[in-house]
Structure 1
């Protein structure tokens, strides 16, 4: 139950599934396919699909690396939120786009698990959103050369700790893509 009053709707959020972000990511094709299936299901249920696209020195706007992977199809009416920070709410229009649509619950997918996905999960949760991570619809690159655990461990750990996230008046957790519900929520 979200703490955002009068916001019973759910939105699917697709974060940074860009060529330069997921190139070489483990289970890339499976994750992209799961996300596209969720996009199709959300559209069938009249649930907004919100796309987030990162820009940086490595992801230069307009470059091939910056573009979304070709397997994912953004609809003309789907909002696209450009961002420059990990948390998709920071210095973007995401909050106003969600408010206009009465959204209080987010279903989160995308990349990278240990960066923008995690930052956005926490950003949404602290702003009062019910925040569900789709366990099999996010991935990250291999940063073991920099001391990080292997990507599959990063993904598993994120799923584990997000499944036990809690705060007053909000829900969090993980769910497999086949079990995602786009039903409206009750507000607190």
Structure 2
């Protein structure tokens, strides 16, 4: 139900599953395995996989921290969007990549739940996309020393509020990895 015209396709958007981002993440291995499963399924179903990779002073380009985790590999023909802001749309090529693929519906996975995932989900919805969060394929590290809830609660809360997210002509929602339907 995207409000974007001529955008019938779905894409899997994998956000910041990088060594330095998920090294201390909650249930890291399980989440990375779920993301790998989604990538494999998307490829089999010929659904575009769009990779988003953050870089900044803590994740300098080409550093080990910046690299995608070794359990995942981007195919040469899969778009890579580099970003420096939390919202994957801000000052990046993401919108033009999605437009070129005629994508109006996003299936989102990756890290970190309380930063780049939330920002990108909201950014997608306000830009006219349907944005589905894969409930067991996103994670964050423990930020409780700065006043955040423990990571399992951050993830649960994000899943709860995004499950019911809508806007005129657009939908949010959550789904478990095993139940992802790329056909919509």
The TM-score, its normalising length taken from structure 2, stands at 0.99
| Secondary structure class of the residue paired with 2:73 | coil
Q: 1:147 aligns to what?
A: 147
CA distance in 1, matches of 2:175, 2:28: 18
Residue 86 of structure 1 corresponds to which residue in structure 2? Answer: 86
Which residue of structure 2 lines up, in the alignment, with residue 107 of structure 1? 107
Give the ranges of 4+ consecutive aligned residues of structure 1 lying more than 4 Å apart after TM superposition: none
TM-score (structure 1 length as normaliser): 0.97
Question: Deviation per CA, 1:96-128, whole angstroms, max 9, x where unpaired?
Answer: 000000000000000000000000000000000
Q: Secondary structure at the match of 1:51?
A: strand
RMSD of Structure 2 on Structure 1 (CA): 0.6
Match of 1:122 in 2: 122
* Counterpart residue number, 1:136: 136
Q: Which residue of 2 aligns with 1:34?
A: 34
SS in structure 2 of the partner of residue 2 of structure 1: coil
Counterpart of 1:15 in structure 2 is 15
Report the equivalent of 1:59. Answer: 59
**Alignment gaps of 5+ in structure 2:** none
The alpha-carbon deviation at position 22 of structure 1 amounts to 0.3
- 1:134-187 deviations in Å (ceiling 9; x for gaps): 00000001011111100000000000000111111001100000000111x5xx
State the SS of the aligned residue for 1:148. coil
